[in-house]
């Protein structure tokens, strides 16, 4: 079975995003390198438009709709980062956006989504089905749905990160041994893997997930779509999906070497290191790849790795509490 996305589709996404998405930098801290015993470069998608990688996939999806298809607006559901990406992309393309968000989403994500001009519909995460709400709104309004991850256009947009990593490391004369990436539903990880398969085929790709939400890691091993333990609480709100996508998991099984589950404690430590050593504000879910690399530093000692920092949309109060913790 051929994979549904090829390098041409990702290159088309890169063309559509040119001049709109930030070509985020590849950053390095010698202090972190020394502490971990490896060379670690960071793809800082926390500096992307809307504060996360999600703008890439959202704009790619919306730009491939015919203008007539966008005339009744777009609908999306998200805990925050996809919401902001869709809202910003819709604004650039002159479309109305309605976003379904959990009532307990970080305040910064709700405020920013509204600030991009979207209408917000809040729902209860534990008692309501966001997909059902979205499909009802689409039927009532004639709008179009922009899925958060399990979509060919969205995946190809996220795949542009892989192209940029390959270009940047080539320009720096760096040979990459491994790439670490956070994963929720798998849109970023699958797109990244596709982009790198064509450009850095010798680099192994690894994912990081919160403990209890290691459904992608288990899906790689079992060869079926595993479910997360959604009762478990974690600070990594941006990547707590109940199950990987149908499209994404097929790509991940073929192209991703494996993954590592990390605790909230390890995520907090990663956030602190990124702030203190890199001066970067990275949200919990966006720090999971680095937490996994830190956890596995003995295995990757002496290697050169790239870590994707997928987003930086974290509430100030939470970020402050994490930075001030002393235990």
d(CA 308, CA 304): 14
Same-domain pairing of 167 and 97: no
Q: What is the CATH number of the domain that holds 68?
A: 3.40.50.1100
Are the beta carbons of 183 and 208 closer than 8 angstroms?
yes
d(CA 274, CA 224): 34
Band of pLDDT at residue 294, cut at 50, 70 and 90: very high
Average pLDDT value over all residues in the chain: 94
Same-domain pairing of 123 and 232: no
Give the CA dihedral 292, 248, 74, 141, nearest 10 degrees.
-130
Total domains present in the chain = 2
Same-domain pairing of 130 and 174: no
Backbone angles phi, psi at 322, to 5 degrees: -65, -45
The reported pLDDT for the residue numbered 107 is: 85
Band of pLDDT at residue 125, cut at 50, 70 and 90: confident
d(CA 256, CA 107): 33
Which pairing describes strands 304-309 and 178-182: parallel, antiparallel, or unpaired?
parallel
Same-domain pairing of 14 and 133: no
Domain hosting residue 191, numbered range:
7-53+153-324
* Residue where a domain stops, chosen among 149, 183, 213: 149
Q: What is the pLDDT of residues 219-264, one digit of tens each?
A: 999 989 999 988 889 999 899 988 999 999 999 999 999 999 999 9
Inside any domain, residue 1: no
Same-domain pairing of 255 and 166: yes
Name the CA radius of gyration of the chain, rounded. Answer: 18
Provide the 3-class DSSP secondary structure of residue 74: strand
d(CA 180, CA 38): 13
Same-domain pairing of 129 and 189: no
d(CA 294, CA 274): 12
Same-domain pairing of 19 and 166: yes
**Does residue 129 carry a pLDDT above 90?**
no
The reported pLDDT for the residue numbered 128 is: 86
What percent of the chain shows pLDDT beyond 70? 99
Q: What is the pLDDT of residues 202-217, one digit of tens each?
A: 999 999 999 999 999 9
Higher pLDDT, residue 263 or 70: 263
Angle between helices 107-115 and 81-92 (to 10 degrees): 10
**Does residue 278 carry a pLDDT above 80?**
yes
Encoding tokens for residue 31? 């202090």
Q: Which residue has the tokens 């539903």?
A: 185
pTM given for the model: 0.95
CB neighbourhood size of 257 (10 A): 13
Q: What is the pLDDT of residues 45-62, one digit of tens each?
A: 999 999 999 999 999 999
Q: Which helix (H) or strand (E) holds 42?
A: strand 39-44
Distances 226 to 31, 253, 261 between C-alpha atoms, Å: 38, 12, 14
Same-domain pairing of 65 and 94: yes
| DSSP code at position 151 | S
Q: What is the pLDDT of residues 308-324, one digit of tens each?
A: 999 999 999 999 999 99
Same-domain pairing of 83 and 208: no
């Amino acid at each position: 079975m051929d994979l549904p996305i090829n390098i041409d589709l990702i290159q088309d996404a890169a063309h559509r995003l040119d001049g709109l998405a930030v070509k985020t930098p590849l950053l390095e801290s010698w202090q972190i390198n020394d502490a971990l015993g490896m060379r670690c470069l960071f793809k800082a998608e926390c500096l992307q438009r809307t504060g996360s990688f999600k703008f890439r996939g959202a704009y790619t999806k919306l730009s491939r709709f015919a203008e007539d298809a966008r005339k009744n607006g777009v609908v999306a559901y998200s805990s925050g980062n996809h919401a902001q990406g869709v809202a910003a992309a819709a604004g650039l393309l002159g479309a109305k956006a309605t976003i379904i968000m959990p009532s307990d989403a970080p305040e910064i994500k709700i405020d920013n989504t509204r600030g991009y001009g979207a209408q917000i519909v809040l729902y209860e995460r534990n008692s309501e089905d966001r997909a059902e709400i979205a499909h009802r709104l689409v039927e009532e309004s004639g709008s179009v749905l922009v899925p958060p991850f399990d979509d060919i256009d969205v995946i190809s947009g996220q795949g542009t990160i892989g192209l940029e990593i390959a270009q940047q490391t080539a320009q720096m004369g760096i040979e990459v041994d491994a790439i670490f990436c956070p994963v929720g539903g798998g849109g970023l990880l699958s797109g990244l893997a596709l982009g790198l398969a064509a450009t850095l085929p010798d680099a192994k790709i690894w994912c990081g997930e919160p403990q209890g939400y290691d459904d992608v890691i288990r899906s790689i091993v079992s060869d079926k779509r595993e479910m997360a333990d959604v009762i478990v609480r974690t600070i990594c709100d941006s990547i707590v999906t109940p199950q990987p996508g149908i499209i994404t998991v097929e790509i991940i099984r073929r192209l991703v070497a494996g993954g590592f589950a990390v605790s909230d404690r390890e995520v907090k430590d990663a956030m602190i290191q990124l702030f203190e050593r890199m001066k970067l504000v990275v949200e919990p879910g966006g720090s999971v790849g680095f937490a996994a690399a830190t956890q596995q530093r003995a295995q990757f000692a002496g290697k050169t790795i790239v870590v994707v920092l997928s987003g930086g949309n974290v509430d100030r109060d939470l970020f402050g509490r994490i930075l001030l913790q002393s235990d």
